[in-house]
Structure 1
Amino acid sequence: MRRHPGGRRVARAVRGVALACALVLFGGACASMPSSGKVQDVTRNETAGDDADEQQVRVFGVPPQPGEGPGALVEGFLEAVTSDEPGYQTARKYLTAEASVKWDPKAGIKVVEQFPDATAQAAQPDATTTVVDVDGDQVATVDAQNAYTPVPGETLLKDKFLLVRNNDGQWRIADLPNGLTLSRADFRRIYKPVSMYWYAKSAADPMLVPDPIYLRSRDALATTLVRQLLERGPTDWLAPVVRTSFPAGTRLADDRMVSLNDSGNVAVQLSDEARAATSQQCQQMAAQLLYTLTQVANVDSVELTTHRGPTMCAANQTQAQQFDPAVAKDNTLVGYYLANGMVNSLRGEETQPTQVPGAFGDGALRLSEFAVDRDKHRIAGLDQAENTLFVGDLGSAARPEPRATAAANNHFTSLTWDGRGGLWMLEYHEQTKEASVVWVDDNEKIHIPVAGLDGGRITSIRVSPDGTRAAMLVEGPVGSRVMIGRINRGLDEREAPRVTIDALRPVMLNMVEAKSLSWNGSSRLVVLGKQAQGSLQPQYVDIDGGNVVPVAALGGISRIAAPSGTEQPLLADSSEGNGNIYRLTPGDTWKVVREGTFPVYPG
């Protein structure tokens, strides 16, 4: 949206980098200064720990220039907040003293597609106050807890900045919105996506759950992340369904920093409140910290101590993985697909399939679709009419039992298992053309209310490995959307299980078409969809919608399946020819494996 991307902003950037070079003149050399082009991001050494940032070239803001007009001054302020100064010292020079005290840069972030326009409203030459309009095409918001949320297309940013002349006749900003306004490019340069980790509430076994946030890359990331975990708790959206393993009041001891080194072993010293933890609880605490810290450094183990106390406990990667529901007890990669309604398995990178034992594989019960549980112990399938659900043991020759039957004129679809052994699906109502979410509890199907659909219709559902979140494709008047809902579990007044899905939030909006989705671990989805300007193709999508990475397109593709491991290959089917199963090989290339349809991985 910016009408003049070069010029004044480039000049400010050049002055800011030149200042950075001057400050490090005696500590190291600066590269020669280009006369044109954009400033390139510097790759961060994430394995070196918090001290690495001190060795990197920093970007400094440029203070206001004498005689700047209102529009230019606000533009300068918007550029200054993109600097690496933790306290926004230079940006505050654009504000009056009173505005500097009132302005809270941590109140949130408005992310716009391009650097916003700052346009001064008409004013008399001798005016002492004026207003500057700041406009842009908004793509997302980041709240005060650092949680990212996409916003619908055609959302326009329209902010107003009040300016006054000071005693020197210079314009300064007297009133402005709290928070920051950043272009998408600046946001990605300045902020790093990370996750805090918690444990799922009401789960029989401890299960780690990621809570994605964005932190400033120039902050001491490891320490900032641990402090947020210990002191601020989970984001408001996830808080009702997760818990922490740390005793109340636990903090870093004496405001210590978390030191990372090349050994991969991290010692974290906690306040005395941590001593209240049991040995089993301490193991969960160490795993919670290890998973959280692994995103900013190569961490092999975490050791917990208290001030002047002995080691409480330690956990390495293998020990921590016991709490990760996306890591199967049997970590052998196995995919599955249908061949003439019969279930076949594909192990690892093999191309020779194996029929699963019993009626699911020998043709005695031909299926329209199916799902394998995450431990690869059970399988659920729908008959060809899609009105009867069968469940059986994956390795057993015994005939599976019917578990649920659809109501008259209805049919089932979209089978999915969570990591707690729970089986979910949709029941499609032919008369209303609506689909309701069903949770299968023993031999009872329980319809789960979903709040926040806003007139949309669910076409597919997949439940996260930890069972706290449901990813859904939703069709509605505004197009196709990928939404994440929070799964609340409890008991009703009769002590019967009560499950609801609420607090739907967008992951991908304004899609022309969405056909399939799959969890790829606990913090990422793979979505088969089409944007307005693109083709139908798979896309890796972070669960907060903050990052979307397209995958190679495949002609005739109709379904996508993702494993738990983010480095493992996707499976897809295509209607071209007689219908084939494809595997995504290194180099982002689809390769035919076998004839078949409906590929799935456990989940």
Structure 2
Amino acid sequence: MRSPIRALAVAIATASALMLSACAGLPTSGPVNPGLPLEADTQPPDISFVADPPQPGATPREIVEGFIRAGSGTRGEWATAREYLTAEARETWDPSANVTIDDFSQREYIEAGDDSIVLNVTAQATVDEAGSYDDLGGDDLELRFGLAQEDGQWRISEAPNGIVLDDARFDVVFRSYALAYFDPTWTYLVPDVRWFTTTNPATSVASALLEGGPSPWLSGAVANAVPEDVTLAARTVPVRDDGTAQVELTPGALDLDRETLDRVQTQLLESLSGAGVSAVQLTVDGQPLPASRVETRSTRVPPQPLVLVEEGFGFLAGESLEPIADLSEAIVDAGPTAVQVSADQDAAALLRGTGAVARVDAVNGWADVDTRPDLIAPTIDTGNWVWSVPRSNPQGLQAFGPDGARVDVAGAWPDATRISAMEVSRDGTRVAAVVSDGGQPAVWVAGIVRDGGVPVRLGEPWMLGSLAGPGTDMAWLDATHVGIVADVAGDTNVVEQLVGGPADVVTAPAAVTTIAPTNQAFVPRLLDTRGVLYVRRGTNWGNASGDLRVIVLGTVQGTPG
């Protein structure tokens, strides 16, 4: 996914160019006045295209072309687009049913008859009525339109529900918002990325949270404090000038205890923060409900890189190494080739030079827990369970508990034939993996269903997107993005994949093997085969280890609570 600053700049430039080309009477001379500076936390403005209405005497093809263009005009619930429809079709067409994101240059209009037009599109992705993004990778779709004469003018009598936007317009008309749920222990907030128009997004976000529920792939993996009988009582969620969203709830909210109200308040406040909301006031029949935000645990990681060097294992601070008490010595002794340390830094998962997966803790030192052949780098979760799987057997996923228990995690990547990388999210509710079914490798995620904290199965896996080459390593960069190192025809790419959206691909230094997060979004660390540590600075990768040779670049699952 494009970084927020780049995405905003592209969106504003695209919208400006498109609106200028569509409008007449704008001044073309005079002084140039400076605009507002672009800050990192600037919210994208509500940019709405002004679509042209149908022109008198337009042909059937021109009517369909105009209707497709008018799909970018969201004001008045697509009022201009509805002018292209017959009176009857206006009552049945549902523009919010889905969005098809296509390649504009590949659109093909075919006149299938005097009253029929077929539009062939190359669909890159779709967004459904719940705001969920689905990567299609360039599928060919056929959209059929029936036309009829109404008052002597051609109008569309039959149209598929939804709208079609090319990717440039989609980036302006829609924006991603993260609905917030809890992990089952009510410790962490878990984002569920959705896409809504920038026209009154507070209403769309609040409605999705209060009336929809989590995405299907997260079913059973997250907790929702909102009861089924509590929904929005008003059609809109107004936001005051001071950033306070006024959320009117149905009377069922009066029966909620304070703890539940606080959790609902927390979910709404976190979900609406992307829509420019800084406070939430819950009401029933206009009367305020007492509620405040609950404390949740952060998933940020320490700023220093976690490394194995000749001097030992620990956090690299300048030229000094800060070991982890009761862990570093045991990790060095185990001879690891990959290391992931728990958030509390009291346990770790290792892939050893022998090929075995080991567990390390502050009490027992290290011990092998999985000696099956061809294991990939393991991952450790919030309960200090170590996850391990053979490269050639993705369904053989197992988890090893702190007390020595071993469980077979059911439902793991059922159609995959190979897995090359895997990592549990820092909130413990999701697992991401790079798998293939004998063909093109792809990035998948699945929710983790637990029983009393024990990971017993994965939910229905969801493909985020395909990779142009084999993926060699992956890491959760933050709560909503995974980073993947991929080998593409001998070149190294880093794929920054939004969980619930598109990916951004950047070129990396040669021979990179490992990726790790920093405490800054979109700034991963990389390690190459020579032991050089890199950090991205703008568009370049800078040497972050100097003359020091890094043997292993580790990751850590958060910061101590």
Q: Same fold (TM over 0.5)?
A: yes
Give CA-to-partner distance per residue, 1:25-71, whole Å, 9 cap, x none.
xxxxx55499xxxxxxx99999799xx75xx7x43221222332222
- Alignment gaps of 5+ in structure 1: 1-9, 22-29, 35-41, 124-128
Distance 1:31 1:473, change over 3 A: farther
Give CA-to-partner distance per residue, 1:276-309, whole Å, 9 cap, x none.
332332332222122112112262x545454454
- Tell me the distance in 2 between the aligned counterparts of 1:163 and 1:265: 46
- Tell me the distance in 2 between the aligned counterparts of 1:586 and 1:117: 35
Distance 1:481 1:48, change over 3 A: closer
Instruction: Tell me by how many angstroms 1:434 deviates.
Output: 5.5
Q: 1:488 corresponds to which residue?
A: 449
Is 1:224 the equivalent of 2:176? no
Q: 2:260 corresponds to which residue?
A: 281
Q: Which of 450, 468, 471 is equivalent to 2:429?
A: 468
Q: 1:210 corresponds to which residue?
A: 191
Question: 2:50–2:73: 8 Å Cα contact kept in structure 1?
Answer: yes
Instruction: Tell me by how many angstroms 1:519 deviates.
Output: 0.6
Q: 2:472 corresponds to which residue?
A: 515
Distance 1:521 1:192, change over 3 A: same
Q: Which of 153, 165, 170 is equivalent to 1:187?
A: 170
Distance 1:364 1:559, change over 3 A: closer
Q: 1:438 corresponds to which residue?
A: 398
Q: 1:102 corresponds to which residue?
A: 92
Q: 1:77 corresponds to which residue?
A: 67
Give CA-to-partner distance per residue, 1:227-274, whole Å, 9 cap, x none.
221122323333433332134433445556332434x66565544432
Instruction: Tell me by how many angstroms 1:425 deviates.
Output: 2.1
Question: 1:118–1:132: 8 Å Cα contact kept in structure 2?
Answer: no
Question: 2:250–2:284: 8 Å Cα contact kept in structure 1?
Answer: yes
Is 1:555 the equivalent of 2:507? no
Question: 1:552–1:588: 8 Å Cα contact kept in structure 2?
Answer: no
Is 1:233 the equivalent of 2:216? no
Q: Which of 375, 387, 392 is equivalent to 1:412?
A: 375
Q: Which amino acid aligns with 2:172?
A: R
Is 1:336 the equivalent of 2:316? no
Instruction: Tell me by how many angstroms 1:357 deviates.
Output: 4.8
Q: Which amino acid aligns with 1:314?
A: S
- Tell me the distance in 2 between the aligned counterparts of 1:64 and 1:256: 30
Question: 2:269–2:277: 8 Å Cα contact kept in structure 1?
Answer: no
RMSD after superposition: 3.4
Higher RCO (Cα < 8 Å, 6 or more apart): 2
Is 1:450 the equivalent of 2:383? no
Question: 2:477–2:522: 8 Å Cα contact kept in structure 1?
Answer: no
Give CA-to-partner distance per residue, 1:473-501, whole Å, 9 cap, x none.
0133331111112222348xxxx956222
Q: Which amino acid aligns with 1:352?
A: S
Q: Which of 127, 131, 155 is equivalent to 1:142?
A: 127
Q: Which amino acid aligns with 2:23?
A: V
SS across alignment from 1:241: coil
Q: Which amino acid aligns with 1:558?
A: T
Equivalences for residues 285-364 of structure 1 within 5 A? 285-297=264-276, 299=278, 301-307=279-285, 309=287, 312-315=290-293, 320=294, 322-327=295-300, 332-339=302-309, 342-347=312-317, 350-357=318-325, 360-361=328-329, 363-364=332-333
Question: 2:356–2:371: 8 Å Cα contact kept in structure 1?
Answer: yes
- Tell me the distance in 1 between the aligned counterparts of 2:39 and 2:326: 53
SS across alignment from 2:367: strand
- Alignment gaps of 5+ in structure 2: 1-15, 31-36
Is 1:581 the equivalent of 2:533? yes
TM-score by length of 1: 0.79
Instruction: Tell me by how many angstroms 1:145 deviates.
Output: 0.8
Q: Which amino acid aligns with 1:506?
A: M
SS across alignment from 2:333: coil
Distance 1:269 1:293, change over 3 A: same
- Tell me the distance in 2 between the aligned counterparts of 1:248 and 1:420: 30
- Tell me the distance in 2 between the aligned counterparts of 1:285 and 1:243: 11
Q: 2:337 corresponds to which residue?
A: 368
- Tell me the distance in 2 between the aligned counterparts of 1:258 and 1:167: 40
Instruction: Tell me by how many angstroms 1:562 deviates.
Output: 0.9
Distance 1:440 1:514, change over 3 A: same
Question: 1:451–1:501: 8 Å Cα contact kept in structure 2?
Answer: yes
- Tell me the distance in 2 between the aligned counterparts of 1:44 and 1:239: 37
Kindly, what percent of the aligned residue pairs are identical?
22
Q: 2:389 corresponds to which residue?
A: 426
Instruction: Tell me by how many angstroms 1:345 deviates.
Output: 2.1
How many positions carry a matched residue from both structures?
A: 532
Question: 2:144–2:159: 8 Å Cα contact kept in structure 1?
Answer: yes
Question: 2:347–2:384: 8 Å Cα contact kept in structure 1?
Answer: no
- Tell me the distance in 2 between the aligned counterparts of 1:165 and 1:180: 23
Instruction: Tell me by how many angstroms 1:382 deviates.
Output: 3.3
Q: Which of 542, 556, 560 is equivalent to 1:602?
A: 556
- Tell me the distance in 1 between the aligned counterparts of 2:84 and 2:339: 61
Question: 1:210–1:523: 8 Å Cα contact kept in structure 2?
Answer: yes
Q: Which amino acid aligns with 1:195?
A: A
- Tell me the distance in 2 between the aligned counterparts of 1:303 and 1:537: 45
- Tell me the distance in 1 between the aligned counterparts of 2:21 and 2:338: 61
Q: Which amino acid aligns with 1:561?
A: A
Q: 1:250 corresponds to which residue?
A: 230
